[in-house]
Structure 1
Amino acid sequence: MATPSPFAFLDDFVSKVTRGLQPPAWVVEEVQRRIVLVVNHVLMQESEATSRLAKQAGRVVEARWRVFTMRLAITPAGLFDIASAAVAPDLTLTLTEESPWGLAQAALRGDKPPVRIAGDVQFAAEINWLVENVRWDLEEDLSRVIGDAPAHAIGEAARRATQALRQFVARSPGAPDKPGPVTVATPEPTTSPQAGS
């Protein structure tokens, strides 16, 4: 018999709040711009990532989760920028896990969240390559600000805390015995020509 999650009330609460709460457009735009800055910072540290993305210049990817949507355009420099809502996306990635608690548990287990993919297959392969190969070395960035030793100590503490959380989640009621499939891919081929062709 499956034990219900002790955090089910959080899922209900978040669902009710997000249904009735719509932040002002300027808040949404500022949050999205901050996300783009962080993502571009990470990409600029990986020349292979920016060169691969530069080949996709002009393409638009849309990410969705619940009521939240974000459209990003690829720049000629191989970075991301906010895309206009009027532009049709070449690729749509929809996070199918509705529960914030479920997403947090999957992240702590090291699983990828389930994603429904629709759009250009080649573009999806490039985005997947980024997800698989690009990592943010937060400890390196911290060392530039506070020095090597303190950054290493913070990084070590974060790794220990993450490991403890993963062990807690693995022992929690409702934790799966084995991770199931984490990606639902249903790419649909498009007939539109690739940008720059």
Structure 2
Amino acid sequence: MPTPFDSAFGALFTAALGSATMERITLLLNHVIAAETVATDRLKAHSGRSLQLLWTGWPPLLPPPPVVAFTITPAGLLEWCGDQAPAQPDLRVSLDASNPLKLASLWISGERPQVVIEGDSALAADVSWLIDNLRWDIEDDLARIIGQAPAHELAKASKAVSAGLREAVRALQGLVSRTPR
């Protein structure tokens, strides 16, 4: 039987894990944004504004996701708000998370998931542009570390693995959708 200490420790562990994960996600997002001057230029115009990602339909069996809210910096990058999420963000981006397998499949395939963007129209237009146009060029980053030829081969292999994962997720989705409830 869990003790109050266990649940307090579990909550602390989950909060720390969520915080560490969000800090790294923020670094990755900023890396992708900074690689495109058009992206930072678009965001600079919104310095000081805030945006929040909302997970709609989150499965109740999964632990709740951390609060995902960012403030746009004067450099045109994102700063994660942590537990200090604004009560009234300038922009809300809602993402349907009711089917995590489908969401993962879309992410792996590079397709844009269904999002609902509400709030400031100029900021919404720029965030929508970012969602549609920014992609992480992993091969380019690897080439800086290991050289162009090995990076190309590694990227080719990862695309094959990614295609296999996409197919596995689709097959799993088909099995789940056919399972009687």
Identify the residue that residue 34 of structure 2 maps to in structure 1: 44
Deviation at 1:46, TM superposition (A): 0.5
Across the two proteins, how many residue pairs are aligned to each other? 155
Q: Which moved more, 1:24-33 or 1:42-51?
A: 24-33
Q: Distance in 1 between matches of 2:85 and 2:134?
A: 27
Identify the residue that residue 126 of structure 1 maps to in structure 2: 126
Deviation at 1:61, TM superposition (A): 0.6
Q: 1:92 to 1:142 in 2, by over 3 A?
A: same
Identify the residue that residue 54 of structure 1 maps to in structure 2: 44
CA-based RMSD of the aligned residues comes to 2.3
**Paired residues of 2:101 and 2:173 also in contact (CA < 8 A):** no
Q: 1:173 to 1:88 in 2, by over 3 A?
A: closer
Identify the residue that residue 161 of structure 2 maps to in structure 1: 161
Q: 1:120 to 1:153 in 2, by over 3 A?
A: same
**Paired residues of 1:97 and 1:114 also in contact (CA < 8 A):** no
TM-score (norm 1): 0.69
Deviation at 1:145, TM superposition (A): 1.2
Cα deviations by residue, 1:114-156 (Å, 9 ceiling, x for unpaired): 2232222221111010111111110111111112121111100
Q: Residue 98 of structure 1 aligns to a residue in which SS?
A: coil
Q: Distance in 1 between matches of 2:169 and 2:94?
A: 25
Kindly provide the amino acid, as one letter, of the partner of residue 88 in structure 2: A
Identify the residue that residue 185 of structure 1 maps to in structure 2: none
Identify the residue that residue 89 of structure 2 maps to in structure 1: 89
Q: Distance in 2 between matches of 1:75 and 1:146?
A: 32
Deviation at 1:110, TM superposition (A): 4.7
Cα deviations by residue, 1:25-75 (Å, 9 ceiling, x for unpaired): 333222111111111111111001001100011111101223322110000
Q: Residue 174 of structure 2 aligns to a residue in which SS?
A: coil
Q: Name whichever structure is richer in helix by fraction.
A: 2
Q: Residue 123 of structure 1 aligns to a residue in which SS?
A: helix
1:35 and 2:21 are equivalent in the alignment: no
Aligned-pair identity (%): 37
The partner residue of 1:74 within 62, 72, 75 is: 72
Unaligned runs of 5+ in 1: 1-20, 176-197
The higher-RCO structure (CA 8 Å, 6+ apart) is 1
Q: 1:119 to 1:43 in 2, by over 3 A?
A: same
Q: Which moved more, 1:162-171 or 1:121-130?
A: 162-171
